Structure 1
Amino acid sequence: MLDINKLVTDFPEVGQLIAEKPLFWHNPNYQESAELPIDLADIFDAEARFQRFAKYFEVAFPETLPTKGILESPLIPIPEMQTSINEKLSSPLAGKLFLKADNLLPISGSIKSRGGIYEVLKFAEKIAVKAGMLVYEDNYAILASPEFKKLFSKYGIAVGSTGNLGLSIGIVAQKLGFQTTVHMSADAAQWKKDLLREKGAIVVEYNDNFSNAITAGREQAAKDPNVYFIDDEGSVDLFLGYSVAALRLQAQLKAASIQVNEDHPLFVYLPAGVGGSPGGVAFGLKQVFGEHVHPIFAEPTHIPSVTLGMMTGMNNQISVYDVGIDGITKADGLAVGRPSRIAGKFMRTLLLGTATFQDDRMMAELARLYETEKIKVEPSATSGFAILPRCQTELAKQYSLTDSTHIVWATGGAMVPADDFSRYLSEGQSLLEK
């Protein structure tokens, strides 16, 4: 049985987490050397697979034609947002502020698109090659033909999700022809469940948290040898799918004439749920940019699962529920009480730190982003903005921020129904005025 008093004695900052007070946790192992089971070559392998499937996406999802079948989001300068934030700060945010607009990623409009879709693609490719119907030099547009849909219909894909991962996997897996089942926790937004059903996926709803929903989904999938379970709590393939974002970001920064070096550090603020998508992106960033990029995770004060896991070194062996934190947040994409099995282990030396925020701050920043830049996102996507002031204070103690670059990574938002967004906006505006 977990001794909470001993835990707080050993790790005093756990007391702040339990009290649900916003904090900045600096990772004491940051930038140490470490051996990891994957490296830059694995990221390039994942990118090559995306490139092979590009022709398929152009046929199956015409909205990807402008990007030639590549699933990527724009890097958007947001000077009006920065000006508005600075008006509220005693010390203005130094450097330049950008939004990595994963809310605009093709197909499912969220950070989960790269990882979830990538693992579906890898599974589909494996089946098609094994069946002798596909060779690696083929034009993958043939995968949109009825013959391949018939092949894939013999197999199932299952996943546990709070929403965005399920959308990404469900939309693409169904289009390919797989029988798709998404196990959704109680935190998942109703519109995401409705959209999945509209696309033909089976949605299994649980009046329970994410950890229990994914466990039930995993157990059910294990009963059928033809069902492939995509495990958000421990999949390296998901992780690698997310990591290719770093290669694309490198090109975007070059196009914008932005340097990343000792005099021009790059700080990236990533919303963390189970830790897989931000972990994969952070891993890719460190592989591509090295010591001068600094990833920081953002988590709600009511469900700081990765922070708790890394702070104590217990990683996935501890849940926020174990220490009495309620896990209730409006950031449905981050409503995960227990971190993934690989997030903390991979991030042990790659993550600068984490910061927690209150939901009201997140909702206010959603309104600020829309009012200043007319960018529509879901609540989770403004997590990075919610921690900016606290991070600015902490980072200034250690880094020169004069010529720094700051990227807030969005989660989702483009697919949010108008009524839902209006509700988010109204709530955020009332909080922004305070």
Structure 2
Amino acid sequence: MRNKVIQGKTIKKWEENYPLMRKIVSIDEVFWTNSKYEKFADAIKKISLSKKDVEEAAERLNRFAPYIAKVFPETQKNHGIIESPIVPIPNMQSKIEETYKQDILGQLLLKCDSHLAISGSIKARGGIYEVLKHAEDLAIENNMLTEKDDYSILDSDEFRKFFSQYSIAVGSTGNLGLSIGIMSAQLGFKVYVHMSADAKQWKKDLLRSKGVTVVEYESDYSKAVEEGRKQAEADPNMYFVDDENLTNLFLGYAVAASRLKRQLEEINVVVDEDHPLFVYLPCGVGGGPGGVSFGLKLVFKDNVHCFFAEPTHSPCMVIGLMTGLHNKVSVQDFGIDNITDADGLAVGRASGFVGKTLENLISGSYTVQDEQLYILLSMLSDSENIQLEPSALAGVYGPIQLFRDEAGQKYIESHNLKDKINNVSHIAWATGGSMVPKNVMEAYIEKGKELSTTLI
């Protein structure tokens, strides 16, 4: 296997060029820091997207807020703005330190995208935004809507009949499909969600209950995307939501950053040169964590340090970033199976768009074993009474890796953070979990408890 040629080099040669590759191929946990990381002022010059693009996305979501509040009553208290709380988790921080015998300097917070309204995951940001933008474009092009209208008029038979002439398709491991499916069906679109083998049954069942056509595959995420794209290419009235080349999705996610800034101010969390912010984001193909990271860098610039988190069996982003090959390689090329219980992260090939956009802005990436996700899931439920799905715990593992791995310590030193490390705020971005059925969640928690007795 080590003599297999990938992009002109054998795996053995890749391992010689990138010593961390040997551990990655062996499915061991790694913590990688980005040698191409640059100051924000330099990195942003190479990126075509801007703060103005993110502001326009935020304005679009504000226009749709009256409609969202009308059709999804759970959003009324936030006036149709889909946003999640951020909460300190001191009991969990203490439990981590005790269990892993590792001090976590600074304070640990949880950004609860797991509890976003409508679809219960981070995909309620980018996925829903993309559908709303497409609906707005269609309605304006057909002279049915202007930006000055009250968008609650979209909740009508007239608009549902109009949108029913069009279809939306997406390939998904689960959560993106939920957000696209629920929002599209609500507007009146015909919806097709192409689901990979990793997708949980309850997610497929929920989509079907909303009138969504779910197409299942025995293969992984890439196949689901490929088939969804083919279907859309054959139908001029079908729009394909592309999670690999995803400017609109990306901008929907990026809106989170300015809202987070306000939330941190409300709970007296300071972010400045002397009070750095470290953010750990579970990563599949890269759209969600990429968009959020881009937004965070626009807001906090060099005072925020973003790390992607991936399962050891699906390390597509760390391989893409480390080698600079991005979407030109898959984890399967290196003999890695891409089989993980973290279904939202079960992606074998990273988004080239995200990798290239962030290659000078992302601080690093790390991998985590599935077993650790279950252990942390159970621990968080016990210590804070917060329930997440396994993939969402990948972010919680970040501070453990940062402080115990030599590469993490070097990152702190090389960025002159050693004297400020007690002032750090760590945000684990919890990407999903609130819609997991009770019996499924109970099984997750029990599995975590069992694993903690044998692995720790």
TM range (shorter): over 0.9
List per-residue Cα deviations over 1:134-179 (Å, max 9, x = no partner).
1101000000111100110000000000000000010010000000
For residue 153 of structure 1, what is the amino acid of its counterpart? Answer: S
The reply on whether 1:15 has 2:52 as its aligned counterpart is: no
| Residue 177 (structure 2) aligns with | 166
RMSD: 1.0
Looking at structure 1, the residues matched to 102 and 156 of structure 2 have their Cα atoms a distance apart, in angstroms, of 58
Looking at structure 1, the residues matched to 33 and 101 of structure 2 have their Cα atoms a distance apart, in angstroms, of 22
The reply on whether 1:314 has 2:363 as its aligned counterpart is: no
For residue 431 of structure 2, what is the amino acid of its counterpart? Answer: T
Q: 2:346 aligns with which of 335, 356, 360?
A: 335
| Residue 419 (structure 1) aligns with | 439
Point out where structure 1 has 5 or more consecutive residues left out of the alignment.
Answer: none
1:204 counterpart SS class: strand
The reply on whether 1:185 has 2:196 as its aligned counterpart is: yes
Is this contact kept in 2: 1:93–1:392, CA < 8 A? Answer: yes
How far is 1:358 from its partner?
A: 0.8
> Which TM-score applies when normalising by structure 2?
0.94
Looking at structure 2, the residues matched to 326 and 49 of structure 1 have their Cα atoms a distance apart, in angstroms, of 40
How far is 1:369 from its partner?
A: 0.4
Is this contact kept in 1: 2:398–2:428, CA < 8 A? Answer: no
Aligned pairs for 1:273-422 (under 5 A) are 273-393=284-404, 394-395=408-409, 396-398=412-414, 399=417, 400-422=420-442
Looking at structure 1, the residues matched to 105 and 248 of structure 2 have their Cα atoms a distance apart, in angstroms, of 36
Is this contact kept in 2: 1:368–1:432, CA < 8 A? Answer: no
Looking at structure 1, the residues matched to 381 and 101 of structure 2 have their Cα atoms a distance apart, in angstroms, of 23
Aligned pairs for 1:227-306 (under 5 A) are 227-306=238-317
How far is 1:307 from its partner?
A: 0.3
List per-residue Cα deviations over 1:226-279 (Å, max 9, x = no partner).
000000011100000000000110100111111111110000000000011000
| Residue 148 (structure 1) aligns with | 159
The reply on whether 1:70 has 2:81 as its aligned counterpart is: yes
1:229 counterpart SS class: strand
Is this contact kept in 1: 2:96–2:102, CA < 8 A? Answer: no
For residue 234 of structure 2, what is the amino acid of its counterpart? Answer: K
How far is 1:388 from its partner?
A: 2.4
Is this contact kept in 2: 1:355–1:391, CA < 8 A? Answer: no
How far is 1:91 from its partner?
A: 4.3
| Residue 431 (structure 1) aligns with | 451
For residue 422 of structure 1, what is the amino acid of its counterpart? Answer: E
| Residue 85 (structure 1) aligns with | 96
For residue 180 of structure 2, what is the amino acid of its counterpart? Answer: I
2:240 counterpart SS class: strand
Looking at structure 2, the residues matched to 218 and 230 of structure 1 have their Cα atoms a distance apart, in angstroms, of 8
Looking at structure 2, the residues matched to 292 and 66 of structure 1 have their Cα atoms a distance apart, in angstroms, of 32
Is this contact kept in 1: 2:168–2:190, CA < 8 A? Answer: yes
How far is 1:90 from its partner?
A: 4.0
Looking at structure 2, the residues matched to 246 and 261 of structure 1 have their Cα atoms a distance apart, in angstroms, of 15
Between 200-209 and 396-405, report the one with greater CA deviation.
396-405
| Residue 34 (structure 2) aligns with | 27
Looking at structure 2, the residues matched to 384 and 130 of structure 1 have their Cα atoms a distance apart, in angstroms, of 41
| Residue 198 (structure 1) aligns with | 209
Looking at structure 2, the residues matched to 198 and 180 of structure 1 have their Cα atoms a distance apart, in angstroms, of 12
Is this contact kept in 1: 2:192–2:212, CA < 8 A? Answer: yes
Is this contact kept in 2: 1:234–1:340, CA < 8 A? Answer: yes
Aligned pairs for 1:97-112 (under 5 A) are 97-112=108-123
1:426 counterpart SS class: helix
- The count of residues paired between Structure 1 and Structure 2 equals 434
How far is 1:120 from its partner?
A: 0.3
